[in-house]
Amino acid sequence: MSAAKGLKAIAPVPTASDFLDIVLSKTQRKTPTVIHKNFKISRIRNFYMRKVKFTQDSFDEKLGAILTEFPMLDDLHPFLSSLLNVLYDKNHYKLALGQLRTARHLIDQVAKDYVRLIKFGDSMYRCKQLKRAALGRMATIMKRQKDPLAYLEQVRQHISRLPAIDPTTRTLLVCGYPNVGKSSFVNKVTRADVDVQPYAFTTKSLFVGHLDYKYLRWQVVDTPGILDHPLEEMNTIEMQSITALAHLRAAVLYFMDLSGQCGYTVEAQCKLFHSIKPLFAGKPVLVVCNKSDIVKPDDLGDEDKALLQSVLAEGAQLVIASCYNEEGVMDVKNTACDALLAHRVENKLKGSKVNAIANRIHVAVPKPRDDLVRAPFIPDTVLSRKKFDKDDPERPKLERDIQEENGGAGVHSIDTKKNYFLGNDEWKYDVIPEIMDGKNVADFIDPDIMERLEALEREEEKLEADGFYDSDEEIVDSEDERHAEAETARKLALAKKHAKNRTNLPRTAGMRTISEMAESLTAAGLDPSRLQERAAMLAKARGAKRKREGAEGMDVDAEDMSGDEDTYGDEAGMEVDGEEDTPRKRAKANSGAALATTRAARIRTNRLRAGMADEVQASKAVRLRNLGQRMRNMHAKAGESDRAIRVKMPKHLYSGKRKGGKTDRR
């Protein structure tokens, strides 16, 4: 990561009042808040000493983070250090950081002094007042840092908006007078989007764009316009350009507007070149004559040509371009990149590192083994081939030409069948059927299918002649057949197991009338007359019994019903044709509720007296229960398991301004 990217990782700087709120609220939250005057004096001292030390640690942590995150100008690259000096004034920047460093030291001293005093506090009141004095002095020190904190926050916001310029990578530096086309060139060759307007000083700060050339990443820096006046009179906008020219190892592209539309003559632009020429030392320089669509160097007068030649005599290379119609823009980019690559290689060869590397490299140079000339062999067919010419009417027609003639891409569909090699050219566009004569055509694709069939028939005839099929032994089933048989057997066993738990007769089998049963017995050759007589007699007896019970208003006990069932057996469950069952009416109490029909249901017990010997013991148990619930009821508890604390901080104790003294009541 470049140094410029490291400048952005700075946390926001709070204001002085916010700083105090953050630290003091953290002290209140992270330290104990309850102390009593009846505690041991050592415990009271430790309570207040902890608060003072925690506050001091919080201030130290916050201020230390600010001092660490802001870069030290002496540790940065000279370009970044000079840029920060131009933008923020190095002295003001160092003074703000120095004030925060002094404030941190003063807070440490205040905490140290008051902790020593609290150690000798003889009462809770004395310790509390010392704690208040310590925190008050710390707050006063921080309030005095209002201006440095506000200044550093402004610096942080501006640093986060600076472009990420890497001073060590391959760089093209664009400079010149205002409104000569620098930003337009950067927009053409990179993915940057620099604002372009028809007035001077549109670009007020450094902008960076990136491009790829020869599989390498390059950065192009667009600088603000420079005017030709002494260095002391230049403003902050111009000083950014001077800083980039002085400290970046880059290829310098000096843009000139020969048409004069920028508002400056050719003479003024040449004077500016000579003024800032010392900054070009050790860098490849290109003079880019922009707006060539209006005026070219050959169209200049003799005086302007002489001035331009004086600029080129300094070792600069002339390149002509026009950002309006993009003529020569790519040539400018390629020429500048090649010049910078050659310059970097040349500097590396001049250095001391190249010797250590060159000693480990051996370049093998082939030498001729004899005087025989071995010329390259090129076949005559290759030499006789005519070079492709797009405008030649006799050249072979390409698929692209056919596509353009038939509507272009997306309209024309390429013929993929015209180059098929078949016995008859008429077969190329025949539709291949999937099913033919009731058979799948894909099964007959194999050209050796007839030979394989004959071989298989010969093998079968041989097996039959050898008596292979005359054996009575059972043919072993395949693996799939055995698996299917095992699965079927498992399903049958499972169904048989489930059948054991099922009733033999359906539930509706027992619900048959006497007439249906008589018809079944008659069809079977039996006489059902005696059964019909007995069923009629039982039905008559049951009807009389129900009438008698209805008249007496009493239900039949469970013992009587069981006795009847034992007496009549299963025949009591038959129904007689034509006889309607009289609905049974349930007895009701005075309240209208239905009474129990069985003795077991009528017997009720009082669960409150379960386990009690008598009424006296039950009343005593109720009295003891109410006594045990009295305290819970006083605290409005829902039960024994209710541990909820409804209000941890009562409003009447913790709202409003809290002064010195007790806070357990108001």
Residue 523: enclosing H or E segment and its boundaries? helix 514-523
pLDDT at residue 502 in the model: 65
| Residue 664 pLDDT > 70 | no
User: Do 267 and 322 reside in the same domain of the chain?
Assistant: yes
| Residue 597 pLDDT > 80 | no
pLDDT band at 574 (very low <50, low <70, confident <90, very high): very low
- pLDDT tens digits for 139-185? 999 999 999 999 999 888 888 777 788 888 889 999 988 888 888 88
- pLDDT tens digits for 276-297? 888 888 888 988 888 888 888 8
In the structure encoding, which two tokens stand for residue 407, read together? 């509507």
590 three-state secondary structure:
coil
- 423 inside domain: no
Q: Where are the alpha helices (DSSP H) in 375-504?
A: 380-384, 399-405, 449-465, 479-500
Q: What is the residue-averaged pLDDT of the chain?
A: 81
pLDDT at residue 29 in the model: 92
- pLDDT tens digits for 463-501? 888 888 775 555 555 677 888 888 888 888 888 777 776
pLDDT at residue 137 in the model: 95
pLDDT band at 188 (very low <50, low <70, confident <90, very high): confident
Domain boundary among 308, 335, 352: 352
Q: How big is the CA angle at 322 (ends 321 and 326), to the nearest 5 degrees?
A: 100
pLDDT at residue 75 in the model: 78
In the structure encoding, which two tokens stand for residue 416, read together? 């993929």
- Residue 61 lies in domain: 16-160
CB 208 within 8 A of CB 219: yes
| Residue 40 pLDDT > 60 | yes
In the structure encoding, which two tokens stand for residue 341, read together? 């690559």
User: Do 113 and 223 reside in the same domain of the chain?
Assistant: no
- pLDDT tens digits for 338-396? 999 998 888 887 877 777 787 888 889 988 888 888 888 999 888 888 787 888 888 88
Q: Which of 324-333, 504-513, 528-537 has the weakest average pLDDT?
A: 504-513
CB 147 within 8 A of CB 17: no
Beta strands in 134-231 (DSSP E): 171-176, 207-213, 216-222
pLDDT at residue 103 in the model: 95
User: Do 126 and 182 reside in the same domain of the chain?
Assistant: no
User: Do 236 and 112 reside in the same domain of the chain?
Assistant: no
User: Do 142 and 104 reside in the same domain of the chain?
Assistant: yes
| Residue 662 pLDDT > 70 | no
First to last CA, the chain: 60
pLDDT at residue 132 in the model: 95
User: Do 124 and 210 reside in the same domain of the chain?
Assistant: no
| Residue 538 pLDDT > 90 | no
In the structure encoding, which two tokens stand for residue 559, read together? 């013992």
Residue 285 β-bridge partners: 252
User: Do 179 and 88 reside in the same domain of the chain?
Assistant: no
Q: Which of 73-82, 197-206, 567-576 has the weakest average pLDDT?
A: 567-576
- pLDDT tens digits for 94-128? 999 999 999 999 999 999 999 999 999 999 999 99
Alpha carbons 654 and 177: distance in angstroms, whole number: 68
Question: Which CATH number characterizes residue 41's domain?
Answer: 1.20.120.1190
Q: Where are the alpha helices (DSSP H) in 524-639?
A: 529-552, 558-568, 599-602, 615-628, 630-634
Domain boundary among 133, 160, 187: 160
Average pLDDT over residues 637-643: 83
- 20 inside domain: yes
Domain boundary among 352, 386, 409: 352
Question: Which CATH number characterizes residue 222's domain?
Answer: 3.40.50.300
User: Do 179 and 230 reside in the same domain of the chain?
Assistant: yes
Residue 318: enclosing H or E segment and its boundaries? strand 317-320
Alpha carbons 633 and 640: distance in angstroms, whole number: 11
Share of the chain above pLDDT 90, in %: 19
pLDDT band at 599 (very low <50, low <70, confident <90, very high): low
- 133 inside domain: yes
User: Do 115 and 92 reside in the same domain of the chain?
Assistant: yes
Average pLDDT over residues 247-251: 85
| Residue 534 pLDDT > 70 | yes
User: Do 75 and 141 reside in the same domain of the chain?
Assistant: yes
| Residue 582 pLDDT > 50 | no
User: Do 88 and 236 reside in the same domain of the chain?
Assistant: no
- 358 inside domain: no
- 145 inside domain: yes
Average pLDDT over residues 47-72: 93
CA nearest neighbour of 165 among 214, 203, 218, 204 = 218
Alpha carbons 241 and 245: distance in angstroms, whole number: 6
- 97 inside domain: yes
Higher-pLDDT residue of 82, 511:
82
- The number of domains in the chain is 2
| Residue 18 pLDDT > 70 | yes
User: Do 200 and 342 reside in the same domain of the chain?
Assistant: yes
- 610 inside domain: no
In the structure encoding, which two tokens stand for residue 395, read together? 């050249």
pLDDT at residue 394 in the model: 81
Residue 221 β-bridge partners: 173, 208
Q: Which residues of 301-319 are buried (b: 16+ CB within 10 A; e: fewer)?
A: eeebeebbeebeeeebeeb
| Residue 131 pLDDT > 90 | yes
CA nearest neighbour of 177 among 39, 312, 272 = 272
CB 131 within 8 A of CB 27: no
Task: Name the pTM for this structure.
Answer: 0.49
CA nearest neighbour of 207 among 148, 271, 268, 162 = 162
Structural Rg of the chain based on CA atoms: 54
CB 183 within 8 A of CB 218: no
pLDDT at residue 580 in the model: 46
Alpha carbons 227 and 249: distance in angstroms, whole number: 22
Residue partners of 109: CB distance under 8 A and separation at least 6? none
- DSSP annotation string for 3-69: HHHHTT--PPPPPHHHHHHHHHHHHHHHS-----TTS-HHHHHHHHHHHHHHHHHHHHHHHHHHHHH
pLDDT at residue 567 in the model: 40
CB 295 within 8 A of CB 258: yes
Alpha carbons 66 and 149: distance in angstroms, whole number: 10
CA nearest neighbour of 163 among 248, 93, 235 = 248
- 658 inside domain: no
